Amino acid sequence: MRHAITFAIVFAALIATGTAAQAQKVYKCGNTYSQTPCGDGKTLDTTAPDASTDIARKQTVDKENKRQLAAAKALEKERLATEAEVRKRHALEAKALEREKARTAKGSGKDSAKKKEGPQFFTAKQVPPAKP
């Protein structure tokens, strides 16, 4: 019985190592995949990535994420500066408009007291007939 268990374990180990994934060429032909090459097919890499390529890929992704984060922060800083400039310009324009309104209000009161003009509309009057 003991030999049977040992034989089963060894046999299972041999089968597992014998069926390990071998690097086979896989071709992509349009939207399909095949083991046989086609006219314009591309060879695909089917090997499992090793640890060093995983680390290199992670480092590359981390660098790209940091670059994108720095770019996003720079864009946000630029946007906030532009918005502050627009608010400042708007406040200055509003103050200038208020001063202009105040100046015209003061000016219109003085002008009406100095000049008395007739009505701003047309009034038709009938001309009396000429005496003979």
Number of domains in the chain: 1
**Residue 55 domain-assigned?**
yes
- For the segment 75-132, what is each residue's pLDDT rounded down to a tens digit? 999 999 999 999 999 999 999 999 999 998 887 655 545 556 666 777 777 888 887 6
Model-level pTM greater than 0.85?
A: no
The owner of tokens 């034989």 is: 7
Helix (DSSP H) and strand (DSSP E) numbers for the chain = 2, 3
**Residue 115 domain-assigned?**
no
Domain containing 89: what range?
Answer: 24-109
